[in-house]
Homo-oligomer: A and B are copies of this chain.
Amino acid sequence: MTTETASASPDNKYHHGNLRLALLDAAIAQIKDVGVDKLSLRGIARTVGVSQTAPYRHFKDKNQLLADVAAQAFIELYERSYSLIDPNASALENIQATGMAYLQYAIENPEKYRLLFGSSIKNRRSYSAMVEAGEQSFRILIDQVERGIKAGDFIPGCPLLLANTLWTQVHGSASLILDGFYQDRELPMPFDDFLKAQIMIASRALLLNPMPISLDKNRI
């Protein structure tokens, strides 16, 4: 979602007014309905009603357009996660809540998620805006891990390490969902519970003194 509306000066045949935003919006739309790897620069130029090379005035190449879209999406993801952090809740609760929100984002925006973490974008490291937006999201998790350690709930390990362990679990979960790994697969419980249970198990690993067993054998 871009902040401004895409058309600024209305009847300006030649100069579009705000082509850059219009292209980004069209790209997001196209990603959503044809998928990130069927997205074509020419296609989005066509839907915006502009020549096929016009986008090159605003983006060095297709890769940069994708990186810019991704940066936006990372911010979206960050805001969504951040809004769920409750300073009064325990670190564990916050972690589990944001973990589920993360999965939900991936499920609701599969193609965007693929853009964020797939290999559509080359040379990720060289798009600093995108990288920083991504790291901002990650820092939410690190912060909560640090809180949990300080509160004496979690193992007193390196926060980056612990946070990363959690993140990789959730990220792997998302990847497998999007790759259709769970389609036509019999699960022992509703899908949502399945995901939640995994997050609970994974976060149990951080607890200094986890319950000997906190899961009902029949439910899980």
Residues on A facing B (Cβ under 8 Å):
36-37, 114, 117-119, 124-125, 155-158, 160-162, 164-165, 167-173, 175-176, 178-180, 183-184, 187-189, 194, 197-198, 201-206, 208-210, 212-213, 215, 217, 220
Q: Interface residues of A: mostly helix, strand, loop or mixed?
A: helix
| Complex CA distance for A179 and B131, rounded to whole angstroms | 11
Q: Kindly list chain B residues whose C-beta atoms are within 8 Å of the C-beta of A155.
A: 201, 213, 215
Contact of A165 among B124, B156, B202, B206 (CB under 8 A): B202
Q: Which B residues touch A184, using CB under 8 A?
A: 125
Contacts of A178 in B (CB 8 A): 119
CB distance from A29 to the nearest CB of B (A): 19
Distance from A148 Cβ to chain B, minimum over Cβ atoms (Å): 13
Q: Contact: A183 with B125, CB < 8 Å?
A: yes
| Identical copies in the complex | 2
Known: A173-B168, A175-B175. A208 touches B212 (CB 8 A): yes
Q: Are B169 and A168 in contact (CB under 8 A)?
A: yes
12 pairs from A and B in contact (CB 8 Å cutoff): A114-B119, A157-B197, A161-B220, A162-B201, A165-B202, A167-B176, A168-B172, A170-B172, A171-B172, A172-B173, A201-B205, A205-B205
Contact across chains for A209 and B208 when beta carbons are under 8 A apart: no
Give every chain B residue within 8 A of A158 (Cβ-Cβ): 188-189, 220
Q: Chain B residues near A187 (CB, 8 Å)?
A: 160
Chain B residue with the shortest CB-CB distance to A184: B125
The 7 A-B pairs at the shortest CB distance, nearest first, are namely: A172-B172, A168-B172, A205-B205, A171-B172, A169-B169, A168-B173, A165-B198
Instruction: Please give the distance in Å from A164's CB to the nearest CB on chain B.
Output: 6
> CB distance A209 to B212 under 8 Å?
yes
Which residue from B169, B183, B220 sits with its C-beta under 8 Å from A157? B220
How far apart are the CA atoms of A210 and B201 in the complex, in Å? 13
Beyond A168-B170, A175-B175, 7 additional contacts (C-beta under 8 Å) are A161-B188, A164-B198, A168-B175, A168-B198, A170-B172, A202-B205, A203-B205
